[in-house]
């Protein structure tokens, strides 16, 4: 595996030391060589660190291998896959994950776009505002999870304390089925709204000014301008942001691990969290690999479909 390391240093060293080849006739050849030299190290590292593990996981997913028990891996064909696909436990986690992904991504898209829109309409302090709004995104999920757990604590948390000052009832944020999942969605939204905002802002600032000016001449209403100019131009970019967030949210693990550890009961256990339990509590490596491969397949298939839809949208 570590083969990739010396190779990469070699070639990046090469960048500086390569002797200039003769001009003209050998240029085309050196272009190709250059391309290969530039791309190979990156691809090798990806092959070693991403593809190879994936293939290994693929192999393990057909076996009953356990990382702790050792011994040889017995081939069980599709038994792991069948077990995962037919398990009611897995279906339950899939539903939880679906609710979470849809809820969180929808919420942060609306909020992120709103903030970006409002910022884009300001003339002063935009840079400062943008930078401030970005802070949550820069924090580690560990820090975010820990701190929200502290703030959402029913007894000592600042959120309930403020509700109390307003004369409202305390809420059990993390220990009731519905509120716990909602809290997870809220915290994820808090952290990742800035990401959507950043992309939306990029889209908004790129809308050509003359379009607005032309619309103004026609005395078009703000809403009309928003609906016919802003939204259609930002929409494709926003959809990309949604794709990225959905993939990330689908894989969510650390926030659950720290904020609720899946509770109450198993009601906030996502698919990733469940894979973790299969992989590390019982060390059922084979089953966990099949489980993980299925998750990757789901992501790739959905992404392809989504990208195809996006391309069609662009062509229209």
Exactly one of 204, 234, 242, 249 binds another protein (CB under 8 A); that residue is 204
- 63 bridge partner residues: 75
Binding of another protein at residue 284 (CB under 8 A)?
A: yes
Does the footprint of another protein cover residue 17 (CB under 8 A)? no
Kindly state whether residue 136 participates in binding another protein, applying the rule CB under 8 A. yes
User: CA quadruple 103, 272, 299, 243: dihedral positive or negative?
Assistant: positive
Site for another protein in 27-86 (CB under 8 A): 27, 30-32, 34-35, 37-39, 41-43, 45-46, 48-54, 56-57, 60, 64, 67-71, 74, 76, 79-80, 82-84
Residue 164 binds to another protein (criterion: CB under 8 A): yes
Does 105 contact another protein by CB under 8 A?
Answer: no
Is residue 207 a contact point for another protein (CB under 8 A)? yes
- Cα separations in angstroms, 290 against 6, 51, 55, 286, 294: 33, 16, 11, 6, 6
Size of site (CB under 8 A) for another protein: 167
Contact call for residue 100 and another protein (CB under 8 A): no
CB of 309 to another protein, least distance (A): 14
Task: Give the residue with the Cβ less far from another protein, 104 or 119.
Answer: 119
- Residue 147 as a binder of another protein (CB under 8 A): the answer is yes
Query: Cα angle at 29 between 28 and 30, to 5 degrees?
Result: 95
The yes or no reply on residue 92 touching another protein (CB under 8 A) is no
Decide if 1 contacts 38 (C-beta within 8 A): no
Find the distance separating the first CA and the last CA of the chain, reported in whole Å: 46
Distance of CA 86 to the CA centre of its chain: 27
**What dihedral do alpha carbons 278, 284, 287, 292 form, nearest 10°?**
50
If one asks whether residue 249 binds another protein (CB under 8 A), the answer comes out as: no
CB of 248 to another protein, least distance (A): 10
Determine contact, residues 286/76, Cβ cutoff 8 Å: yes
Binding-site string for another protein from residue 213 to residue 232, where x marks contact by CB under 8 A and - marks none = x--x-----x--x-------
**Contact by Cβ (8 Å): 109, 242:** yes
Q: How many CB atoms lie within 10 A of CB 301?
A: 10
As measured in angstroms, the least distance from the Cβ of 179 to another protein is 10
Q: In the set 6, 25, 128, 312, which binds another protein (CB under 8 A)?
A: 128
- How far CA 139 is from CA of 78, 136, 158, 182, 187, in Å, comes to 41, 6, 20, 21, 12
Shortest distance, CB of residue 55 to another protein, whole angstroms? Answer: 8
Q: Which is nearer to another protein, 100 or 148 (CB)?
A: 148
């Amino acid at each position: 595996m570590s083969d990739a390391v010396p190779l990469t240093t070699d070639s990046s060293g090469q960048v500086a030391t390569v002797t200039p080849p003769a001009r003209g006739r050998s240029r085309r050849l050196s272009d190709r060589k250059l391309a290969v030299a530039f791309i190979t190290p990156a691809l090798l590292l990806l092959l070693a660190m991403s593809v190879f593990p994936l293939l290994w996981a693929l192999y393990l997913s057909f076996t009953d291998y356990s990382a702790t028990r050792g011994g040889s891996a017995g081939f069980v064909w599709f038994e792991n896959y069948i077990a995962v696909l037919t398990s009611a436990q897995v279906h339950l986690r899939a539903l939880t994950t679906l609710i979470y992904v849809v809820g969180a991504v929808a919420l942060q898209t609306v909020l992120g776009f709103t903030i970006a829109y409002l910022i884009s309409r300001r003339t002063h302090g935009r840079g400062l505002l943008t930078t401030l709004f970005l802070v949550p995104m820069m924090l580690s999920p560990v820090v975010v999870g820990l701190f929200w757990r502290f703030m959402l604590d029913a007894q000592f948390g600042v959120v309930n304390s403020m509700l109390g000052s307003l004369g409202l009832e305390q809420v059990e944020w993390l220990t009731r089925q519905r509120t716990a999942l909602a809290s997870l969605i809220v915290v994820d939204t808090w952290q990742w709204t800035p990401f959507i905002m950043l992309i939306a802002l990029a889209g908004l600032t790129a809308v050509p000014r003359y379009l607005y000016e032309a619309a103004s001449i026609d005395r078009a209403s703000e809403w009309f301008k928003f609906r016919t100019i802003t939204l259609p131009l930002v929409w494709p970019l926003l959809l990309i942001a949604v794709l990225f967030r959905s993939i990330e949210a689908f894989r969510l693990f650390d926030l659950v691990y720290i904020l609720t550890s899946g509770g109450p009961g198993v009601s906030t256990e996502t698919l990733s969290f469940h894979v973790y339990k299969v992989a590390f509590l019982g060390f059922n490596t084979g089953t966990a690999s099949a489980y993980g491969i299925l998750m990757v397949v789901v992501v790739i298939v959905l992404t392809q479909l989504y990208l195809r839809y996006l391309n069609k949208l662009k062509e229209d």
